[in-house]
Amino acid sequence: MEGTVAVVGLGASGEAAARLALEKGDSVYVSDLRTDASIAARAEWLRSLGAVVELGHHDSARIASADLVVVSPGIPPTAPVLQDLAGDGVRWISEPEFAFRFFKGPLIAVTGTNGKTTTAALTAHLLARSGIDAALGGNVGAGLAPPASELALRESAPDWYVLEMSSFQLAGTDRFRPEIGVVTTLSPDHLDRYDSLEEYYRDKARLFQNATPESRWVLNGDGKEVRELPGEAPGIRYYFSLEAQAGEASGEADRTSGGWLDGKELVLEGMDPGTGGKEVLLSVDRLSLLGRHNVANCLAAAVTARLAGATLEGIRTGLSDFPPLPHRMEPVGEWEGVLWVNDSKATNVEAARSALDSLDRPVVLLLGGKDKGEDFSALAESIRARARHVLLFGEARHRLEKALGPAVSARLIDGSFQDVISEARRSARPGDVVLLAPACSSFDMFRDYEDRGRRFAALARGDG
């Protein structure tokens, strides 16, 4: 490029974007309001590579004068620096959009409200099990994979790039175009950042903005919102479903390709490049992941990997040996007949409901955290059907209690998180599951959902 690039935000993705821009010969300016030790260390590293880095301040005029502005996903559109840029008519892009411009191979992009991290990581795993070089990155988080720009810095291109994409990242796309795009689920989320649900879905739909007739879309056939999200975008649609064959799930008799659950067997149909016939993968009880919603994630990943050239044997092996991801229906351990499950990543109502519905043992459910403004009453039916007892904690506990109503057996915990775990241990009986699926973000008591999940695991083990 050899121009000027301004990077707003010095998290992991901002640092990676700056490094990529420097590698391509650009002049780079980076700014972040934070000045803590970890940010200062990143700043010094980038300065040593030739970037100009400013902490504690954003120079809006300097940013606006750059040839290209890259904005980190953690910075909301309401931030003053972005308001200043918008007022000046300056358009910015997200870090994955910047990285995509330097990709040298085909792209799989996975988005959705819930399940996107598991589906993206599992897709890469299935490809690897088939001997295909798949580079995983994007919004994966938890140190499980790098930002997209780090993938663009690879000396040799992989066979496939696999990116998880958040709505915030998709909002800043322009030329972004995956060969295969995946949408796992859609439900209300991030309503503390978006003015409306429609605005949130509109950003998700940017996945399809550069679609061509050769594009391939892997969609959740059980979700009306997902089926409708592409609109009239060109490309071939494939569906995965827990409830029906792919054609029935799509509602379109002429589009029957995809994956579905046939009794207890995961099945692909119309995916064989030779015959297009039915292919039985394996039974549900051989999957390595816990929970019914993870069966859907497995189907989504299997369809996607098959489209990208994975073998049946590679898919079968990968589905049976993929390790559970941290903080996503992660079994922590079982003591005195009680299974403890860490689903700290369930930061919205739909994720918590899905986690609860996926279990077939009585549940002691831990709900609470920072309120994101969702309708908690949507949890009540699943709680009455699955949970024996509910413990409410954190900032949202009082609104949770009111929304769930008197028909739900719930107890308010006004103390620390350790008090929550102690009460869970007293409440649980042999055969129960203690499930952390908070339906809220973590920022009232923890640094992030990972910090919350690690604390849950430690206390469950008795290490707290």
Per-residue pLDDT for 398 more than 80? yes
Q: What is the pLDDT of residues 21-55, one digit of tens each?
A: 999 999 999 999 999 998 999 999 999 999 999 99
Say whether both 165 and 268 belong to one domain. Answer: yes
User: Which CATH number is 378's domain given?
Assistant: 3.90.190.20
Neighbours of 296 (CB within 10 A): 28
* Mean pLDDT to the nearest integer, 307-315: 97
Mean pLDDT score of the chain: 93
Q: Based on the fold, state whether residues 36 and 161 are members of the same structural domain.
A: no
Here the contacts of 378-382 (C-beta below 8 Å, separation 24 or greater) are 378/349, 378/350, 378/353, 379/349, 379/352, 379/353, 379/403, 379/404, 379/439, 380/404, 380/405, 380/407, 380/408, 382/353, 382/356, 382/357
206 and 282 co-located in one domain: yes
- Helix (H) / strand (E) element for 303: namely helix 292-307
Segment 269-280 mean pLDDT: 80
Clarify whether residues 110 and 254 are in a common domain: yes
Residue 394: predicted pLDDT: 97
Based on the fold, state whether residues 316 and 181 are members of the same structural domain: yes
Q: What is the chain's length? A: 464
Task: Decide if pLDDT at 254 tops 50.
Answer: no
Q: What is the CATH number of the domain that holds 65?
A: 3.40.50.720
* Residues in Cβ contact with 441 at an 8 Å cutoff, skipping those fewer than 6 apart: 347, 369, 370, 372, 449
> Is the domain of 102 the same as that of 80?
no
Residue 329's pLDDT is what? Answer: 87
| Residue-level pLDDT at 1 | 56
Share of the chain above pLDDT 90, in %: 81
How confident is the model over 316-338, as a mean pLDDT?
Answer: 91
Q: How many CB atoms lie within 10 A of CB 114?
A: 26
Name which of 188-197, 321-330, 407-416, 425-434 the model is least confident about: 188-197
- Domain ranges, residue 182: 97-321
Is 305 in a helix, a strand, or coil?
helix
253: left (phi over 0), alpha (psi -120 to 50) or beta: alpha
Q: Which two tokens stand for residue 117?
A: 């991290």
Please write the tens of the pLDDT for every residue from 149-183.
Answer: 999 999 999 999 999 999 999 999 999 999 999 99
Q: Among 264, 292, 321, where does a domain finish?
A: 321
Same domain, 171 and 66: no
In eight-state DSSP terms, residue 354 is: H
Mark 77-99 as b/e (b = at least 16 C-beta within 10 Å): eebebbeebeeeebebbbbbbbb
Encode pLDDT of 80-119 as tens digits.
Answer: 999 999 999 999 999 999 999 999 999 999 999 989 999 9
pLDDT at 144 over 90: no
On whether both 16 and 122 belong to a single domain, the answer is no
What does the pLDDT read at residue 253?
Answer: 41
232 lies in the same domain as 356: no
Centre a 10 Å sphere on the Cβ of residue 430 and count the other Cβ atoms it contains.
8
Q: Which of 273, 304, 321 is the last residue of a domain?
A: 321
Please give the residue that has the higher pLDDT: either 243 or 101.
101
pLDDT at 448 over 80: yes
Domain count across the chain: 3
Crossing angle, helix 292-307 and helix 116-129, to 10 degrees? 50
String of DSSP letters for 361-382: S-EEEEEESB-----GGGGHHH
pLDDT at 241 over 90: yes
Interhelix angle 12-23/37-49, nearest 10 degrees: 0
Q: Are residues 115 and 233 in the same domain?
A: yes
Beta bridge partners of 53: 30
What is the reported pLDDT for 273?
Answer: 65
SS3 state at 172: coil
CA angle 388, 389, 393 (to 5 degrees): 155
User: For residues 168 and 256, which has the higher predicted lDDT (pLDDT)?
Assistant: 168
Among the listed residues 271, 188, 177, 165, the one whose alpha carbon sits nearest the alpha carbon of residue 233: 177
Look at residues 321, 353, 388 and tell me which one is the last residue of a structural domain: 321
Do 80 and 210 fall within a single domain?
no
pLDDT given for residue 359 in this prediction: 86
In the predicted model, is pLDDT for residue 74 greater than 90? no
8 in the same domain as 69:
yes
How far apart CA 88 and CA 203 sit, in angstroms, is 22
Alpha helices in 145-291 (DSSP H): 148-152, 167-171, 197-204, 224-228, 246-250
Quick one: pLDDT at residue 275? 66
Q: Stretch 128-153: mean pLDDT, rounded?
A: 91
Q: Given a cut of 90, is residue 248 above it in pLDDT?
A: no
Distance from C-alpha of 239 to C-alpha of 367, rounded to nearest angstrom? 32
At what angle are helices 417-427 and 449-461 packed, to 10 degrees? Answer: 50
DSSP state of 127: H
Strands (E), 4-128: 4-8, 27-32, 52-55, 68-71, 93-94, 107-111
Q: Residue 3's CB: how many other CB atoms inside 10 A?
A: 12
Query: What integer pLDDT is reported at residue 274 of this predicted model?
Result: 65
Q: How confident is the model at residue 344 (pLDDT cuts 50, 70, 90)?
A: very high
Q: What is the CATH number of the domain that holds 268?
A: 3.40.1190.10
In Å, how far from its chain's centre is CA 177? 19
Instruction: Tell me which DSSP letter residue 358 carries.
Output: T
Band of pLDDT at residue 138, cut at 50, 70 and 90: very high
